[in-house]
Structure 1
Amino acid sequence: MCLAFVIAIDLLVSKHTKLALIQFIILYIAQVSAGYKPLFTATTIFFAVLVCSSISILIRDARERLEKMQREAERSKEIAAELIQQLRRDIADSLHDDLAADLTRMLIISRSIRLPHGDDRDRILDLQDRTQQALAHLRLLIHNLAVSQGPPKEEPTLQEIIESSASTLAQRKIVLDADLDGIERIPALHRSELGRLLVAFIRENTLNALKYNSPHDLVSLFVEQEQDTLFISFSSPWHDQKVPEEMHGGYGLWALQDRFENAGGSLSSNRIGASWTVLASLPWNEIATPTTNARSLMSPPDGAAYA
């Protein structure tokens, strides 16, 4: 009898209701055939059905709750892993965009200084060596952190980044010609996703120009808005020269391309004739275009660099 009830409960938990009813009918027939009164047997079976149904509902509810808790636990693990990975990406971006860029500039500038004689010469050489070692260690750390790219961090305004880039390039007598199609006048553009990506594009290509270009080179930044797309390009003269290994980690353009694609845009870099060109595009949906369409920074006279 007890075994029959256990089987019936298991069938009800598994939602095999018809089989459970057949089980109770067979049990009723067996009890009547054994000499039990039909009315008493029917009443007993009826209460047994109620008890078994209640127990099966409780077991089924407990099982569903347990499965839900397991799913939530798995989802929590996935979310925690995503947050950890996002943190790693953000740290890699911050290190690359700020610390690695500053160390690279320091190394480039220190190598362009004419070495004096005496103790100052030794100190400058020691500074170069230490900067080179720190940059190599930092590149390795960025490489280990940057499995893939995440959302970019807060950046300076477009006007500030253009002025900073022009000033930095001018230290090596490289001229920046920038035409942003007037979009740098849009308030709070640099706080938007599109503005942050544009700032990151300018900073990355400025740093590459510092590493690969020669004095008196002219590098061009061009931005144009057409309907719902923003087109961006950065061109510089091509020089077939080797750059010290510690000054390039291969992370910059690769990470930038991933960020552009995640935002629905594209980015590619190619050698076109005697120029190295980086082309990019971004969707232009959320921010209104300015009423005026003028050059953001006019080309300086006589090849002078922007200040």
Structure 2
Amino acid sequence: MGWVGRLFDARDTLARMLLLDLSGLGYLVFGAQGHHGPTSTQWVLALVAFAVALLFHRRPLVNLVAQAALLAVAFPLVDDTTINQVGASWALLELTMWAGRPRTIWLAAGLLAAVDLTDSIGDPVRRLLSGVFGLTVEVGVPLLLGLVIRTTRELARQAEERAAAEQRRRESESRAARAGERSAIARELHDVVAHHVASMVLRVGVARHVLPDLDPRVSEVFDDVHGTGTAALNDLRRLVAVLRDPDGVRGDAALTAIEPAALPAALDAAVDRARQAGITVEADVDPGVGSLDAVRGQAVLRLTQEALTNVAKHAGTAARARLAVAVVDGAVHWEVSDDGRGSVPAAVPAGGGHGLTGMRERVEVLGGRLEAGPTGAGWRVRTVLPAGGVAPDGPPDSPARPPEPAAPRPRPAGPHAPEPA
């Protein structure tokens, strides 16, 4: 509300009343009408009005009633009622700004108008009309100003509440996105671990049957390993049941973990899927990705699907995208960029993640850092998935440069706009 809000703040009521009283005192000393200055009656009424304003500065209704009563007394006793009129008008302004119910405001305005009109009873028509016109200054102006300040203050409060609610909504959506991505990672981790544990249990069971003449101690070890592996599988199934929510899994997110050797073919399938939507995709995939562990391989696939989906949503069918995946010293260098020249969003199904928030969560779990931001007219997303869980200092193409800060990508209007980074 700016300076108006600070001037008419509820905490500064006493300061406003002091300034009003000092102004009235200056008027009495320097500006009052008459050859001999204000009369003793005028001084008494003014001082009482000053005291009432200070005493009831926190009770605007009581102050208004008292000021209106003093004004009614001043009309027949003194010729210059300016002090009491200003006091009553200011009391109406304070009441209009801070009254709890609108009905109180209108009753107070009617009371002050009635008191003011009593001075015009029995006067000629010309003077009566002049008195009615004076109501616009004594009653209308403070009433209008108070309503403006009251409305402005209410609008500012509502704007703050909406901003706070929007902030809470964004934080809630971000937490939900991170929780959803962590659940997806947990499901995939279960698939990876369960696959290997089941394979070990199967091999131990085969060994127990094809080697019947083993030493009893070795057989006991085999039995213990087989029982422990079976129990581990059962525990995994029970724990992951809490995380599995088939209704909340979209599209490719429902896929189980892939074999590392199948990763190049899965990446090719993701690229073909984007091309079928009309996007021109240039793919440069290192054959070494087939030797990655299952967790990082799954992450590379999910990141590629989500990034190409975002290209389709934002850059459109006329865009050109480039996928680059390389394995250098065990670390995976991954990047997807586009030229941003599309105009019509492509109809590509969702990639199963939660936009940049989910991608960043998945990368951070593996010790990397996702960088997303504009590059020229387009957009670029890149990261490095370290071999030992520690991210290198920079991306492969510019290790000496500081990381480019992530900037929010312009989003199209409508319900399908993805969340910002």
TM-score range, shorter chain: 0.3 to 0.5
- Structure having the larger proportion of residues in strand: 1
- What is the TM-score of this pair, normalised by structure 2? 0.33
Question: Which is bigger in relative contact order (C-alpha 8 A, separation at least 6)?
Answer: 1
Larger Rg: 2
